[in-house]
Structure 1
Amino acid sequence: MSIPWLVQVDIVAAFSLLGFLLVSIPLYWHLEAWNVGCVLYIFWIGTQSLFQFINVMVWRDNAINWAPVWCDITTHFTIGSSIGVCCASLVINRRLYHIANISTVSISRADKRRNIITDLAIGLGIPILAIALYWFYQGHRFDILEGVGCTEEYPNSFLAYLLYITWPIPIGLVSATYCILTLRAFFKRRRDFSTLVASNNNLTFNRYFRLMGLAAIEVLCTIPLATYNIVQNLTTIPIYPFIGYADLHFWFSRVDQISAVSWRAYPATVAAVAFKQWTVIGCAILFFLFFGLAEEARKHYRLAISSVAKRVGLTTFEKGTGFSSTGYPTTSGFGKITIPTFVQRSTRRGSMDSFSDRLSTNISISDVVDEKAAYSPVDGSGSSAGGSSTCIASPVDTEKGISPVESLPPVSLLPVSFPPPPRAYAPQSPTRRSADVPASVRPDSIDMV
């Protein structure tokens, strides 16, 4: 059972958008770590996935030239992105090679700047050069395929092979050379490899091997896929004889608008379009599998979910604590919670202990009972017999010129207990049944917050 054509178009559009979103998730982490190769990879693949999604949605069921300038931009970017992905893989392999063969742990700022400039020259310079050379083998402005959108147009000439089609093979060979040398250096110096990785603050052991795995897969796929593309072009499309630019660029500004019925009648064209679309999607998903599911990525996901949950008032559970993000205790950690109280705690100890700078805000119920039993509102000497500490100033040393303020010991944070004031009768108010003292020192009350 074959899938309807419009359903296939919608599937490609959905996966293109998904690829753009997935590959964009680790962008901030690689920008923070100055991983130029990964940032370039995200830029080329992510932007191409977004352009592909827009093209498919705009020209889902038509071939009308709605936006000619947009098509000029996207067709030229497609030329650059197909080379840029290979160059990004080369940048990653080159960086891993230099890390594995570094002779000193410290790298100067000038060396870092030089490496970044070199990486940008490879990852951006070569694709921009490929875009600039597109005019020399371009047949006419662009084509519009129904269900696909804007596509670049160039005849199958030797200029196209020389200036564009064969470029992934030499780039892939250089990248493969770096990859093999990196593996050789790793196995040769695996004992001090941890020190080499530690020389880069933004590169961990696991991230190094994920980079190596991504670059190795890109190398293994780049050369075979480029070779397959060349063979398909040579065997299915006749070679266009180049007899001059007057012939090649004849009616250069035209735009061919091709319906789905017309271009889908040729199996070679259908295979080429599907290969081009799903290669971009596959590269985006592959990158996410390497870097979007790593340990540090999962940590960022948890932080993001927790932050969003706090804003909307949802409950999330933190590992190792008895509280949720909303501030309420969870069931698993409830037994470890001590109810905070502000009951004044008085213990039997020397008066000098009151100069401690520690303040306890947690107290058990047994401590409250003992304290209240030691105090009687009738006993006027409760401040001394009850064990409550008071602030006592030491004598002033007048011979040494020490002022009374300087001779005072540190003020205790524990409260000072005073005897209750004498009862007084007020005609306008009823007689009080209890002593006029704070509620926190009444024997029949416990103030808890």
Structure 2
Amino acid sequence: MSDPGLAANRILRTFFAILGTILCWVPFRLLARNGEFVVVVFIIDVVIANVFTVLNASIWPDDDMAKWWDGTGLCDFQAFITFPLDTLYAACIFAIMRNLAQRLRLKRANNLTPPERRRRMLVQSLIIFPVPIVQLALMWFVTSNRYAIAPVIGCLGAFDTSWFKVAVLGIPPATFAVATIPYAFLTWKRFREISKTTKVALTANTRSSSRVRQRTRIRLYQMALSIIVPYVPLQMVFFGVNLTTTMRNLHPYNYYSIHHNPDHPWSAIIFYNSWDVAFSVMNQPWINIFTTIPIVLFFGMTDEANEAYRRFLTRLRIGSWWNASKNVQSVVKETSEDSTLPPSELPNPHRQTIVTSAGPFIPPRHSSKYWRQ
């Protein structure tokens, strides 16, 4: 009989992974159009991980090993790419926060020129891609078996418990996570500094491109911060668990014993029951599922995103209710704006003249008799 808890975990992760992936489409398009290269790569990374989550939970739903597929092809690919994807996730968060700190340090009002944008993209690529690529190239040397399979979690990598595995797979994502913290502090500090000088100017010119860029930066910072706060501690916990497991069975690295040991063939595929898989391993896919929440929250509910939803619903011929709702909101907004005068047009009691039978009368500067303060 299937474990009810395992079945519930499978159903929930499948549903929310599919939902989050679909909802990431509009933020992905908007951020790609605005040239946010690192955030686009980050969303692609999250979507790929969620697709793997759905496939694994659907193909291996329970502990009935007699019905399991051996995973040939899919697991060969996934077992090699999962750790580099995890490192890419951490590297993107680091690059996003670093980029925000750099932008705020420059304090420029105009857009980047095309050569500057290309240079920024090159620098960001050199930050996020080299380490995952190196990990992918070294994966053959640290895997102790072809791969393993467990229910719901699906394809797993099987790794050698040596110092080399810790250096290649354990340290890089933890390093990126820790290195993000000072940039997060710098970004917060610089946001506070510039907000005092730019708030009035940005409020006065609501349609300026500088206001749009400022809002995008704020959303990026809020999105990254909402991910960093839970992610960095979790990443350190995962690193500690992996390090403890490795140290418990630590042995010198030996390539021959990994790939040419007749008693333990590398090509073997290992099947695990659900109770043999650690809680942290079984539930690690939830990190990418939960990551879709801040992505959608900060970039899937903007005016641009709402317009994209409206166009999509209009194509499906079900957008009439959306248009009616937006029209009502627009009328309410315009009425509110018309009924509120800007500060420059508000009556000033110290500049008003009251005409009486005795002639014009100017109230005293601090009088409350004629003007309620």
Does TM-score exceed 0.5, indicating one fold?
yes
Whole-Å Cα distance in 2 between the matches of residues 149 and 97 of structure 1?
39
Say if 1:242 and 1:248, in contact at 8 Å, map to a contact too: no
**Does residue 278 in structure 1 map to residue 292 in structure 2?**
no
TM-score calculated relative to the size of structure 1:
0.63
Which residue is 1:368 aligned to?
Answer: none
Q: Which has the larger radius of gyration?
A: 1
Whole-Å Cα distance in 2 between the matches of residues 98 and 234 of structure 1?
34
**Does residue 223 in structure 1 map to residue 232 in structure 2?**
yes
CA RMSD of aligned residues (A): 3.0
Describe the shift of the 1:315–1:225 C-alpha distance in structure 2 as closer, same or farther (beyond 3 A).
closer
Describe the shift of the 1:148–1:222 C-alpha distance in structure 2 as closer, same or farther (beyond 3 A).
closer
Say if 1:309 and 1:315, in contact at 8 Å, map to a contact too: no
Structure 2 residues without counterparts, runs of 5 or longer: 329-373
Say if 1:139 and 1:248, in contact at 8 Å, map to a contact too: yes
Whole-Å Cα distance in 2 between the matches of residues 119 and 315 of structure 1?
39
Whole-Å Cα distance in 1 between the matches of residues 209 and 140 of structure 2?
42
Which residue is 1:288 aligned to?
Answer: 296
Which residue is 2:187 aligned to?
Answer: 182
Question: C-alpha offsets along residues 29-60 of structure 1, whole Å, 9 cap, x if unaligned?
Answer: 11111111210111111111011101211122
Larger RCO, structure (CA 8 Å, separation 6 or more): 2
Whole-Å Cα distance in 2 between the matches of residues 183 and 133 of structure 1?
37
> Residue 26 of structure 1: SS of its match in structure 2?
helix
Question: C-alpha offsets along residues 261-285 of structure 1, whole Å, 9 cap, x if unaligned?
Answer: xx41x4xx23123331212211223
Shift of 1:161: 1.5
Say if 2:30 and 2:304, in contact at 8 Å, map to a contact too: no
Say if 1:33 and 1:203, in contact at 8 Å, map to a contact too: no
1:199-348 equivalent positions in 2, closer than 5 A: 203-235=212-244, 238-249=248-259, 250=261, 251-258=265-272, 260=273, 263-264=274-275, 266=276, 269-309=277-317, 317=324, 319-320=326-327
TM-score calculated relative to the size of structure 2:
0.74
**Does residue 13 in structure 1 map to residue 10 in structure 2?**
no
2:52 partner letter: F
Whole-Å Cα distance in 1 between the matches of residues 107 and 49 of structure 2?
39
Shift of 1:28: 0.7
Describe the shift of the 1:314–1:185 C-alpha distance in structure 2 as closer, same or farther (beyond 3 A).
closer
2:165 is aligned, of 160, 164, 172, to: 160
Question: C-alpha offsets along residues 117-144 of structure 1, whole Å, 9 cap, x if unaligned?
Answer: 1112222333222222222321111011
Say if 1:25 and 1:292, in contact at 8 Å, map to a contact too: yes
Say if 1:143 and 1:150, in contact at 8 Å, map to a contact too: yes
Shift of 1:82: 0.7
> Residue 256 of structure 1: SS of its match in structure 2?
strand
2:79 is aligned, of 75, 78, 103, to: 75
Whole-Å Cα distance in 2 between the matches of residues 295 and 316 of structure 1?
13
Aligned residues: 313
Whole-Å Cα distance in 1 between the matches of residues 256 and 208 of structure 2?
57
> Residue 276 of structure 1: SS of its match in structure 2?
coil
Say if 1:65 and 1:144, in contact at 8 Å, map to a contact too: no
Say if 1:138 and 1:153, in contact at 8 Å, map to a contact too: yes
Say if 1:130 and 1:163, in contact at 8 Å, map to a contact too: yes
Which residue is 2:370 aligned to?
Answer: none
Whole-Å Cα distance in 2 between the matches of residues 51 and 142 of structure 1?
15
Say if 1:100 and 1:182, in contact at 8 Å, map to a contact too: yes
Answer 1 or 2: which has greater helix percent: 2
> Residue 189 of structure 1: SS of its match in structure 2?
helix
Question: Percent same amino acid at aligned positions?
Answer: 20
**Does residue 134 in structure 1 map to residue 159 in structure 2?**
no
Describe the shift of the 1:316–1:183 C-alpha distance in structure 2 as closer, same or farther (beyond 3 A).
closer
Say if 1:144 and 1:257, in contact at 8 Å, map to a contact too: yes
Whole-Å Cα distance in 2 between the matches of residues 316 and 308 of structure 1?
13
Describe the shift of the 1:102–1:73 C-alpha distance in structure 2 as closer, same or farther (beyond 3 A).
same
Structure 1 residues without counterparts, runs of 5 or longer: 322-449
Shift of 1:206: 2.7
**Does residue 171 in structure 1 map to residue 181 in structure 2?**
no
Describe the shift of the 1:198–1:71 C-alpha distance in structure 2 as closer, same or farther (beyond 3 A).
farther
Question: C-alpha offsets along residues 353-407 of structure 1, whole Å, 9 cap, x if unaligned?
Answer: xxxxxxxxxxxxxxxxxxxxxxxxxxxxxxxxxxxxxxxxxxxxxxxxxxxxxxx
